Amino acid sequence: MTGLAGPAREVYCPNCSYDLRGQAGASLIRCPECGKQYDAAELSATRVPWIQRKHIGRVRAVTGTIRLVTFHTDVLACTANDDDRAAATFRWLCTAGLWAITSLGYLDTPSSCWMWPVTYFGGRMPSNSVVAQWVYPWSVAMGHWWLVLPVLLGFWRSLDLLPARMVGFARFSQERRMTLLRALQYLVASIIGGAMAGIVVAAVLLLWYAITIRSVNVLSAAGVLFAVCVPATAAFMWQWAVVRFFLHARATAERDGWLPLAAWPLALVVVTAAWLVLLPWCLGLSWLAIVNWLA
């Protein structure tokens, strides 16, 4: 018989979150609350459900990890986790899912939303204006899906890695830094959790509109509500998760623990502007130059 964990070690049942600290058992541990059985060594290593996907199933592991990251970020910041491969796999899974969803949404958007300067000027480059120098090339790039989709992939990948880069600015101890870097790989799941919450909010508002305003066009209202609520809620939940993570990390850090939290807004603005404004503008300008040269 071996102890599952020391008295100060956080060990909880992945299925029902029952506190299993200090319980003794053999190689297999059964939760007294829900009756689920787990391997003692793996259970004592982490609270992230994705690590225990072999025991609880991949679907429950994914949903449980999204729920943990979205609503219990402070727990994620102090969770023991030494499986870098599992964390990287989950990070790529979330990033690929976000890229696919964003790409489908972009392809479904009418090109006129992005190409309005081109349409307004009849396809001719306007002369000596802000529109000609900045808006026109940007709209040309955004109007071509084969130029935008790689940009979207790079944008999500940069946002995925950005919180981990911020940890490097603070003087954390080596052990604390490694713990945070492992945990930060799961943080991108909060965007998916926020998007799910946005779908629920949009559905509730749509139901309210349908009941109280009978003359409203339900299909049009649904499109507007989902287009507004889902991105806004996803962005809010991600920001909230990152801030809570940095706040909890700062509580156990050295004197520079405030630096990631203070520099986070600036880093986010720079990355977003670089991927969604500057890079499309450069691509559009290059494409216009190639077209004019071929003509």
pLDDT computed for residue 6 by the predictor = 37
pLDDT computed for residue 9 by the predictor = 47
Judged on CB neighbours under 10 Å (0-12, 13-18, 19+), 71 is middle
77-127 pLDDT per residue, tens: 766 566 778 888 898 899 888 888 888 777 766 555 666 666 666 556 566
127-179 pLDDT per residue, tens: 656 666 778 788 888 878 888 888 888 898 888 888 888 877 666 777 677 77
> In what helix (H) or strand (E) does residue 38 lie, and over which residues does it extend?
strand 37-39
pLDDT computed for residue 107 by the predictor = 72
Task: Reply yes or no on whether the pLDDT at 1 is more than 50.
Answer: no
Under DSSP, is residue 28 helix (H, G, I), strand (E, B) or coil?
strand
Please give the average per-residue pLDDT across 237-250, as a whole number: 83
User: How confident is residue 41, by pLDDT bands cut at 50, 70 and 90?
Assistant: low
pLDDT computed for residue 273 by the predictor = 92
pLDDT computed for residue 75 by the predictor = 73
The contacts of residue 61 (CB under 8 Å, 6+ apart) are 14, 49, 50, 52, 53
The answer to whether residues 268 and 162 touch, using CB atoms and an 8 Å cutoff, is yes
Under DSSP, is residue 24 helix (H, G, I), strand (E, B) or coil?
strand
Q: pTM score > 0.75 for this model?
A: no
The answer to whether residues 195 and 230 touch, using CB atoms and an 8 Å cutoff, is yes
Please give the average per-residue pLDDT across 38-42, as a whole number: 64
Q: Side-chain half-sphere of 203: how many Cα atoms within 13 Å?
A: 6
Task: Reply yes or no on whether the pLDDT at 8 is more than 60.
Answer: no
3-7, 111-115, 133-137, 206-210: the lowest-pLDDT one: 3-7
Number of DSSP helices (H) and strands (E) in the chain, helices first: 14, 4
Task: Reply yes or no on whether the pLDDT at 72 is more than 90.
Answer: no
Please give the average per-residue pLDDT across 211-238, as a whole number: 79
Please give the average per-residue pLDDT across 12-22, as a whole number: 60
180-191 pLDDT per residue, tens: 788 888 988 999
Over the chain, what is the mean pLDDT?
A: 76
Rounded Cα–Cα distance for residues 284 and 291 (Å): 10
58-62, 118-122, 213-217: the lowest-pLDDT one: 118-122
111-120, 153-162, 238-247, 255-264: the lowest-pLDDT one: 111-120
